[in-house]
Amino acid sequence: MTLTRRRFLSSLALAPVAFSTPFLATSAFAAADREEVTLVVHGSQGPSRLTVEVADEAAERNRGLMGRERLADDAGMLFLYASPQGVHNGFWMYQTLLALDIAFIGADGRIQEIRRMEPCQGEAQECPTTRPASRYHAALEVKAGTFEALGVGPGDCVSWPGSSESCSG
């Protein structure tokens, strides 16, 4: 367990208070303080634009899409990191209400793998962690089935404002 995960788990003691208050549990509140960008996923059916929330700080990444009741078909969350993440740094679905697909993205902007994640409403310690097979530089979560519907798979390229990859070639 990393120090970040320990800190996050200890903060879960306050989660029942936050999610029992209707105002705090709304998706509008959860998304209100996050930057949104349009990214492009270059799949077999051509380029697809998604409007995603950017989670580039630890608190944003820890909260993720918890408590969301809806997610548009062309929306998601982009997790950005200042340095490469190892295979030990995974994602979990604690208090996440929607099934999601996650794409782990390498330094070259290419999708390394896509995994399906199911909601977990149990106790935090009962929720499985989805870990990548190799190091990654970013991760993209979307509603389950979105990547398949768009013809997106491993090897496809993702670009967003500020990324170094142009997905040309």
Q: What global pTM score does this model have?
A: 0.80
Read off the pLDDT of residues 69-114 as tens digits, 9 standing for 90 and up: 999 999 999 999 999 999 999 998 999 999 999 999 999 999 999 9
Distance CA 137, CA 88 (A): 13
Question: Residue 114, Cβ neighbours under 10 Å: how many?
Answer: 18
- Domains in the chain with CATH codes: 3-159 (2.60.120.1140)
User: Which two three-digit tokens encode residue 22?
Assistant: 């209707």
**Residue % of the chain over a pLDDT of 70:** 78
What integer pLDDT is reported at residue 83 of this predicted model? 94
Model confidence at 3: pLDDT above 70: no
User: Which two three-digit tokens encode residue 157?
Assistant: 């390229």
